[in-house]
Amino acid sequence: MKKTAVLVGCGAMAQGWLKAIFETPQLRNRLKIVALVDLSEEVATQLSEQFELSDVLISTDLDQVLKQTKPDFVLDVVVPVARFEVVRCALKHGCHVISEKPMANNMTQAHQLVELAADACVSHSIIQNRRFITGIRKIQQYLTSGVLGEISAIHCDFFLGPHFGGFREEMEHVLLHDMAIHTFDAARFISGKQPLAVYCQETNPAGSWFKHGASANAIFEFSDNCTFTYRGSWCAQGANTSWESNWRIMGSKGTLIWDGFDQLEAHLINDDQGFIHSSITVNVSGDVVEDETLGHASVLINILNALAQGDSPETQSLDNIHSLEMVFAAIKSAETGQRVLINEESQ
Ligand SMILES: NC(=O)c1ccc[n+]([C@@H]2O[C@H](COP(=O)([O-])OP(=O)(O)OC[C@H]3O[C@@H](n4cnc5c(N)ncnc54)[C@H](O)[C@@H]3O)[C@@H](O)[C@H]2O)c1
């Protein structure tokens, strides 16, 4: 039987969620949207028309809709500042929650939501879709296999210039809070290491069309003497990187390079003689499961499968909160100009 879901927040990203649900056979037959909720009834109605959802309830009142429909899931695609109240309301009604990233607007709210979900005995997971793509899955497998040796450094460059309009252009710390979490989360995932501390410098460069924090440079200390650096900008005009970032990963046996698109190769040391030791270039291939490479659809599949089997979803809030800790520690460092320790007790 299909699980029922109420989708809250019917803006740009909600279209991505509905496309993922209706265009993915592994989801289409498992989830039924019963209501669309938005601050604007008109926006919710437009979304229902776009996806020909003629039998769904349209409303601006989430609490009332949840009373009426008693869904299995609430799909939360609202703007970050509205997330806490929406998720709190869903958990109060005993619904499983799947939220867009970032999971909360600050760490206090994030911890409260984790506790509320545990008290309600329901699942609370986050759409961290950029770890569910082929490149990241292959890299994770490759590093886990040990071919690259001990990982000592991960370097990421992210340079794009998107003109979104909307909430992002008014947001504080926009790059760190709304985007960098994808790369931070992916670095945690591929390395399997714990973030311990960070120093971050943040600017809003000349010519920026964002109100605050469109660029950031962060140096994270990971466990096992591993360094993760992030250089990013959302107002970089020209010579753009991919949305996944450009990656250089250094191991004791070589270096892995990923351009964030199709170029993914390892340069492995094959000679221990001479001034600069020579290396061979090999493709990084892996036995990647297709269901884990579909972005949003994969996160949803992972959550539904986990719940059906009584397991924990990969992006459950209990895990995702550690990626969020990286974001807020970087923000605190940028604000104070100090190196900031990342809470080891909660890991
Ligand atoms: N995972 C990704 O790759 C990705 C990409 C883009 C956006 N996002 C995330 O998706 C979320 C939404 O972003 P968007 O681009 O769709 O924003 P948007 O502004 O286009 O849409 C948000 C919608 O939420 C509605 N809303 C706001 N407060 C609400 C409330 N209290 N109750 C009901 N509806 C409410 C707004 O009216 C609006 O229609 C954000 O958290 C953003 O970071 C994620």
Ligand 1 atom nearest the C-alpha of 167 is 19
- Per-residue CA distances from 278 to 143, 263, 285 (Å): 21, 21, 22
168 DSSP β-pair partners: none
* CA–CA dist 236, 246 (Å, integer): 14
Express as a percent the part of the chain with pLDDT over 90: 96
Alpha-helix runs per DSSP H in the chain: 12-23, 25-28, 41-50, 62-69, 83-92, 107-120, 134-145, 174, 180-191, 296-309, 317-336
The token pair that represents 173 in the structure block: 């710390």
Residue nearest to atom 19 of ligand 1 (CA): 11
The token pair that represents 261 in the structure block: 């698109």
pLDDT (mean) for 218-233: 98
* CA–CA dist 29, 137 (Å, integer): 26
Q: What pLDDT is attached to residue 1?
A: 86
Task: Give the model confidence (pLDDT) of 162-190 as tens digits.
Answer: 999 999 999 999 999 999 999 999 999 99
Q: What pLDDT is attached to residue 285?
A: 86
* CA–CA dist 98, 81 (Å, integer): 16
241 DSSP assignment: -
Which residues neighbour 12 within 8 Å (Cβ) at sequence distance 6 or greater?
A: 166
Task: Give the model confidence (pLDDT) of 91-147 as tens digits.
Answer: 999 999 999 999 999 999 999 999 999 999 999 999 999 999 999 999 999 999 999
| Residues 103/105/111/113 CA torsion (nearest 10 deg) | -60
- Whether the pLDDT of residue 307 is over 80: the answer is yes
Task: Give the model confidence (pLDDT) of 282-296 as tens digits.
Answer: 999 888 999 999 999
Question: 80 CA to middle of ligand 1, Å?
Answer: 7
- Whether the pLDDT of residue 344 is over 70: the answer is no
**pLDDT confidence tier of residue 197, bands split at 50, 70 and 90:** very high
Question: 25 CA to middle of ligand 1, Å?
Answer: 25
- Whether the pLDDT of residue 79 is over 80: the answer is yes
Which three-class secondary structure state does DSSP give residue 274? coil
- Whether the pLDDT of residue 345 is over 70: the answer is no
Domains of the chain: 3-122 (3.40.50.720), 131-288+324-341 (3.30.360.10)
Q: What pLDDT is attached to residue 187?
A: 98
Largest CA distance in the chain: 74
- Whether the pLDDT of residue 346 is over 60: the answer is no
pLDDT (mean) for 296-308: 97
Task: Give the model confidence (pLDDT) of 235-287 as tens digits.
Answer: 999 999 999 999 999 999 999 999 999 999 999 999 889 999 999 999 998 88
- Whether the pLDDT of residue 203 is over 70: the answer is yes
Question: 279 CA to middle of ligand 1, Å?
Answer: 46
Q: What pLDDT is attached to residue 270?
A: 93
Question: 8 CA to middle of ligand 1, Å?
Answer: 9
Name the pTM for this structure. Answer: 0.96
127 lines ligand 1 (CB under 6 A): yes
Residue nearest to atom 31 of ligand 1 (CA): 82
Residue 280 is which amino acid? I
Mutate to test the pocket of ligand 1, among 78, 87, 234 (most ligand atoms within 8 A of CB): 78
Which residues neighbour 81 within 8 Å (Cβ) at sequence distance 6 or greater?
A: 105, 167
327 lines ligand 1 (CB under 6 A): no
Ligand 1 atom nearest the C-alpha of 43 is 39
104 lines ligand 1 (CB under 6 A): no
Residue nearest to atom 5 of ligand 1 (CA): 13
